[in-house]
Amino acid sequence: MGVTCSNCGTDNTQDSEFCKKCATPLTHSEEKPIPTETLEVPKEELTTGSTFARRYQIIEELGRGGMGKVYKATDIKIQEKVALKLIKPEIASDKKTLERFGNELRIARKITHKNVGKMFDINEAEGTHYITMEYVSGQDLRGLIRQSRRLGIETALSIVKQVCEGLEEAHKTGVIHRDLKPSNIMIDQEGKVRIMDFGIARSLKEKGITGAGVMIGTPEYMSPEQAEAKEVDRRSDIYSLGVILYEMVTGRVPFEGDTALSIAMRHKGEVPKDPKEYNAQIPDDLSQLILKCMEKDKEVRYQSAGELRAELENIEKGIPTTDREIPKRKPITSKEITVTFGLKRLFIPAIIIVALAIIAIVIWQILPEEKAAPPGPAELSIAVLPFEDLSPQKDQEVLCLGMTDDIISKLSSLPGWKVMNRTSVMHYKDLNKDIKVIGQELGVANILLGSIRQQEDDIRVIAQLVNTDDRFQIWTDTYDRKLEKIFDVQSEIAEQIVKALAVNLSAEDSEKLKKKTTENIEAYRLYLQGRRLWDSRKEEDLFKSLEYFEKALKEDPAYAKAYTGIADTYAVITDYTSVPVKDAYKKAKEAALKALAIDDTLAEAHTSLASIKDWDYDWEGAELEFKRAIELNPGYATARHWYGWHLLCRGDFDDAFAEMKKAQELDPLSFIINDWLGEILYFSRRYEEALEQHKKNVELFPENALIHGNLGNTYVEMEKYEEALVELEKAIAMTGGHLDTKGWLGYAYAKSGRRDDARTIINELIEQANQKYVSPVIIAAIYSALDEGDLAFQWLEKAYESHDIRLCFLKVDPQLDNIRSDPRFETMLKKINLD
């Protein structure tokens, strides 16, 4: 015989402690006592693949919080995925706490809304109490903020409006959340928002559930009344939502501290800074809305979620068209005309209707039509995301990256295709991000997903082509091959992508897809390791990359790409290390020529040689090589990047910027390409625009010394010396006193009138030059700022003698403007063929 719930009358099994429908604690009759069970040790952790409570098969851990760990699991009984939260033993041991959770679950079940995650059950098994709730496939808002640092205004408004709708329904039901925070807000794969975990929600109609004087909530997001452990109402959730919106648009919470108490007290007594101080793009009315949500006095806040949502909608209507999608005007349908005319015919003569209709049409035609949203990404645009390693030992990461890299290289060689380059797609490795969002972020219509599983000499490769707009699977296939055939698989996948997108290729382009640069798996692995290190542009990584490229050549002496790796490393190494320029130049040229001798159709090799010809002041020869590289592979971002650099040196600012923008379109998350966009603006003397770009770069790459240094240089030319010194000192600290950044600081001192400090740095650089290579151009720039032209030209001559690559910027460098009118300057330009 079962147990009947005294609250709702539902029959439950004899061993149930809570009603399966309303979660009310059950009272068992004395005649039918619950059998005594063996005492079990409460579980605090579950393993993937295990089964809990004979019902829930654990898939993975989703996270952990103050209450316990949360797992994604399959409910075997109903074959549905659920979220399963284990309650910590120290919490579950308190019967009053369990009773509170049971009551609160019963209350939370009353909320049925598309923007509220469903709560299912609270129960006990294997000595452990647990809660089950709806599993939402997607990402929590905390992860989204961490990835984006701060969200766009449109995205933030869309999310918060949906949260408001969910809260509005909960508040109507008489429930407040009391712990609203980004990790409790889930965004599914379609962009729909769910408020999760009403586990500590409390009914407004029921008192005493939590207990007087008990502070519940997360310090960063709690309201002042929560901080004081006072009674709270729906306006506490409004405050928390204001904090969340603040973080979404600024990338930071309004109050931080060393302890939970210190943060809570700041909420209680400190006025938050205007969010516009952290993000000038925030509209004034949105900034005011956020601060109103966070008023200390709850009577001054928005009084309901509905009121807040209405205000958000008003603000959204005022967002510029560049920030939101504006629907096109819909043509008036015959049905609409019939309905409108039918209503008006009751009141107005037909003749007036016709006249009004004609006037309306005329006005419609002469009024300026709102601009439609920008067109979506081109059909032939694709991002090949990093292949997932499904091997038992998870030790095939390099092979996975190689598959990604090679398919990118093949597709980017096709004319008319936009293919995201390696650096940008690598940002999505291991990210569980929605396909549509990735497509929007990268501006592509298609995404290739894939995985590799290797077991001994066998591999299984699965590839899937997906449309980013509707997530439609265009094509998928599985390849079971021997490891030695992996290069064939790469070509086959590239060919299938082309077929799936219904593209007809010339015979020449078809051959490009079949081309192999090596048949040696180990050489291939070593080359990929070297390229990954090269991408970072860090001193230590550049030296290591050379080692990998050289090892690759030992495995396959005819591996042309490995030679291009060596050439490219020596081409940039003097910018980041103290390798003598002449040595680097000689080795770079030698490697590039060897690569071309092996394969003269390799775009990477022509790009390498072009950069070396720039270094040799052979501008016309470099131009030909760059154009050949781009002809061979129009989607190779490095060729576009270095060609933009070449055009800048020649003073072709507009063409340089256009070429660098093309590079950015192909590799939008490359720090070096973004940095050079700012640098072209800087060399063009468009300092305000350069400042804006470099600030964006600092937000994207806050730990990059070069970006801070170039931001500092821009401030110097704008005579904002205080800001300049802050950024330059950051750059020096990050590099441990690299000679370039120290030289930039010396130039800033000279420009700002701190002549003695500038001379001190010159002396340090000259002393260092006895031990390692120091760019003479940097010393010349400091002397130029000190108006000591003779010394500046002496050092420029040394730069010419040592073949310093920085001399390539002589024609455009603002740091040499003080000596530009000197006749010797024109002579120097002639020496490097830039007159």
DSSP letter string, 165-205:
HHHHHHHHHTEE-S---GGGEEEETTS-EEE--GGG-EESS
Span 381-516: which CATH code?
3.40.50.10070
Q: What integer pLDDT is reported at residue 312 of this predicted model?
A: 93
Backbone angles phi, psi at 651, to 5 degrees: 85, 10
Q: How many CB atoms lie within 10 A of CB 65?
A: 16
Q: Are 766 and 743 in contact (CB under 8 A)?
A: no
- Give residue 122's identity as a one-letter amino acid code: I
Cα–Cα distance measured from residue 29 to residue 14, given in angstroms and rounded to the nearest whole number: 10
Q: Are 382 and 420 in contact (CB under 8 A)?
A: yes
Q: What is the 3-state secondary structure (H, E, C) of 484-514?
A: HHHHHHHHHHHHHHHHHCCCCCCHHHHHHHH
For residue 30, pLDDT over 90 is answered with: no
Q: How many CB atoms lie within 10 A of CB 728?
A: 26
Q: Which two tokens stand for residue 598?
A: 């092996």
DSSP state of 86: E
Q: In terms of pLDDT, which residue wins out, 38 or 824?
A: 824
For residue 234, pLDDT over 70 is answered with: yes
Give the pLDDT mean for 223-243: 89
Give the pLDDT mean for 124-150: 82
Compute the Cα dihedral for 92, 94, 98, 100 and give only its sign: negative
Backbone angles phi, psi at 537, to 5 degrees: 60, 20
Backbone angles phi, psi at 175, to 5 degrees: -125, 135
Residue 803's region, left for phi above 0, alpha for psi from -120 to 50, else beta, is left
pLDDT tens for each residue of 657-706: 999 999 999 999 898 999 999 999 999 999 999 999 999 999 989 988 88
Q: Are 272 and 295 in contact (CB under 8 A)?
A: no
Of the ranges 204-213, 285-294, 599-608, which is most confident? Answer: 285-294
Cα–Cα nearest to 509, from 606, 405, 406, 412: 412
Cα–Cα nearest to 547, from 558, 560, 533: 533
Q: What value does the mean pLDDT of the chain take? A: 81
| Second-level CATH architecture of 138-317 | Orthogonal Bundle (1.10)
Cα–Cα nearest to 679, from 718, 706, 650: 706
Cα–Cα distance measured from residue 312 to residue 305, given in angstroms and rounded to the nearest whole number: 10
CATH class for the domain made up of 519-634: mainly alpha
Q: Which residues contact 59 (CB under 8 A, 6 or more apart)?
A: 48, 71, 72, 73, 74, 81
Token pair 């309306």 is found at: 360
Q: What integer pLDDT is reported at residue 43 of this predicted model?
A: 62
Q: Which two tokens stand for residue 808?
A: 């390539």
Q: Which two tokens stand for residue 495?
A: 């060919």
Cα–Cα distance measured from residue 830 to residue 558, given in angstroms and rounded to the nearest whole number: 40
Q: What is the 3-state secondary structure (H, E, C) of 430-453?
A: CCCCCHHHHHHHHCCCEEEEEEEE
DSSP letter string, 367-391:
SPPPPPPPP---TTEEEEPPPEE-S
Token pair 């959204």 is found at: 316
- When pLDDT is cut at 50, 70 and 90, the band that residue 208 belongs to is very low
Q: Is residue 655 classed as helix, strand or coil in its secondary structure?
A: helix
Task: Give the strand pairing for 458-467 and 446-455.
Answer: antiparallel
Helix (H) or strand (E) holding 125: strand 119-125
**What's the Cα-to-Cα distance from 116 to each of 41, 133, 134, 288, 293, rounded to whole Å?**
34, 11, 10, 27, 21
Q: Which two tokens stand for residue 753?
A: 């009138």
Residues in the chain: 835
pLDDT tens for each residue of 443-493: 999 999 998 988 888 889 989 898 888 777 788 888 989 888 888 999 999
- Cα torsion 17, 20, 25, 31 to 10°: value is -50
Q: What integer pLDDT is reported at residue 348 of this predicted model?
A: 40
Q: Are 407 and 449 in contact (CB under 8 A)?
A: no
pLDDT tens for each residue of 810-826: 999 999 999 999 999 99
Give the pLDDT mean for 561-579: 83
Q: Are 620 and 646 in contact (CB under 8 A)?
A: no
Cα–Cα nearest to 490, from 468, 467, 518, 471: 518
pLDDT tens for each residue of 172-207: 888 888 889 998 898 886 778 999 876 554 433 333
Q: What integer pLDDT is reported at residue 768 of this predicted model?
A: 85
DSSP state of 567: H
- When pLDDT is cut at 50, 70 and 90, the band that residue 132 belongs to is confident
Pinpoint the alpha helices (H) of 251-376: 260-269, 284-293, 305-317, 334-344, 350-366
Q: What integer pLDDT is reported at residue 323 of this predicted model?
A: 42
For residue 121, pLDDT over 70 is answered with: yes
pTM assigned to the model = 0.54
- When pLDDT is cut at 50, 70 and 90, the band that residue 723 belongs to is very high
Q: In terms of pLDDT, which residue wins out, 389 or 326?
A: 389
Cα–Cα nearest to 721, from 681, 741, 748, 745: 748
Cα–Cα distance measured from residue 785 to residue 491, given in angstroms and rounded to the nearest whole number: 56
Query: Which CATH superfamily does the domain covering 38-134 fall into?
Result: Phosphorylase Kinase; domain 1 (3.30.200.20)
For residue 60, pLDDT over 60 is answered with: yes
**b/e string for 263-298 if b means 16 or more Cβ within 10 A?**
bbbbbbeeebeebbeeeeebbeebbbbbbebbbeeb
Token pair 């009138």 is found at: 753
Q: Which residues contact 500 (CB under 8 A, 6 or more apart)?
A: 465, 474, 475
Q: Which two tokens stand for residue 412?
A: 């980017």
E strands, 406-494, in order: 418-419, 446-455, 458-467, 473-482
- When pLDDT is cut at 50, 70 and 90, the band that residue 431 belongs to is confident
Cα–Cα nearest to 35, from 50, 14, 11: 14
For residue 310, pLDDT over 50 is answered with: yes
Least confident of 89-98, 155-164, 816-825: 89-98
CA atoms within 13 Å, Cβ hemisphere of 601? 9
Q: How many CB atoms lie within 10 A of CB 93?
A: 12
The alpha carbon of residue 774 and the mean position of all alpha carbons in its chain are separated, in whole angstroms, by 36
Task: Give the strand pairing for 473-482 and 446-455.
Answer: unpaired
